[in-house]
Homo-oligomer: A and B are copies of this chain.
Amino acid sequence: MKTEFEFLSNLKQRFKLNNIGDDCAVLPKDSETDQVISADLLVEDIDFRLKWTTPEFLGHKALAVSLSDIAAMGAKPVWSMLSLGIPENLWRTDFVDEFYEGWFKLARSTKVELIGGDISRTPDKLVIDSIVGGEVDKGRAVLRSGAKTGDVIFVSGSLGGAQAGLNYLESGILPDSVNIQSSLRKLILRQLKPDAQTTLGRILGERKLAKSMIDISDGLSSDLFHLCRSSNKGARIYADKIPFDVNLTKNSSENLDILDLALNGGEDFELLFTADRKISEKFFREISTALKVALTCIGEITETPENIELCVNSTSRTLIPKGFQHFAKFNE
């Protein structure tokens, strides 16, 4: 069966789609501004399960995943179109009202205006297509392709939590389970109600701090690979520098492979970006403090295309991208 890469590569070639392949599409807006647009399709029983989540969490997540794409371009979100395909049994309940409550709560806090969309019936599964448009100074959208050899690689926040949360959900633990540990609940909520790095992304763009950027939706190994491929570079990262979700270590009794979760777990919706080595670490520490978001340097960009080296203690090995794949995504 063809992979997403083969399909997308074939499509781009056949139809000469040269502008496809970043977190968002970039379009000229006016003389000072470009527009960025992202689409994210979320399908019941593929991307979420109704028995695990609440309508509010799902509404929040539907917007958050697209906000994360906008942030990854260094842009500011502005508007959204929301298409919902709804089975009749859900339409007969308060589900959609509660879904919008969750969606609008996040939209208000990020100043996103709902400008349109479509609501349709489906035979059985809920389907959500979230379209978000944003703005960025002309020519300043941060692409995946801007990494240079020697750039340092940063990651925001912490990694591995959302995948651990998914694993717990799959094992039957729900966020409202009786006697659930607080740290475990936080991991599950990281999966069900993720936050996008909206402010950080915009600031990294506005201040020209990120030379290349991508959001970590498929997993660090896959998304770093996407960034390297677009930039025609490689990377070296250090296992001991990767910022694990603090709640993972609190649940270490359960024998989690924390490094694997952080490397290959998806949906943390953190930002992965590269920066000029000359920008002082102190400067990033100040931004980190001001925004209350951890910014961790995990490695550097290297010359060899698409080769990612993972250093663990004193040894190193090639890191194979193992994150989540659908079939394909134009703007991942």
Contact = CB atoms under 8 A, between A and B. Distances in A.
Interface of A: 1-2, 4, 7, 11, 14-15, 17, 19-20, 24-25, 27, 29-31, 37-47, 79, 81-86, 91-92, 96, 100, 104, 113-125, 127, 129, 131, 133, 326-331
B118 A39 contact: yes
Contacts of A37: 81, 115-116
Given A11-B100, A119-B328, 20 more contacts: A1-B91, A4-B119, A7-B119, A19-B115, A25-B79, A25-B81, A29-B29, A37-B81, A39-B83, A39-B116, A41-B129, A43-B127, A45-B123, A46-B122, A81-B131, A116-B330, A118-B331, A119-B329, A120-B327, A124-B125
A47 to B, nearest CB: 7
Contacts of A121: 43, 46, 326-327
A29 to B, nearest CB: 6
B330 A39 contact: no
B125 A129 contact: no
Given A7-B96, A19-B115, A117-B39, A83 B326 contact: no
A113 B129 CA distance: 20
B41 A85 contact: yes
B46 A123 contact: yes
Contacts of A327: 86, 91, 119-121
A94 to B, nearest CB: 11
Contacts of A91: 1-2, 327
A30 B35 CA distance: 11
Given A115-B20, A119-B328, A127 B85 contact: yes
A43 B120 contact: yes
Given A46-B120, A81-B37, A122-B125, A25 B115 contact: yes
Contact of A92 (B1, B44, B104, B129): B1
A20 B133 CA distance: 16
A173 B100 CA distance: 42
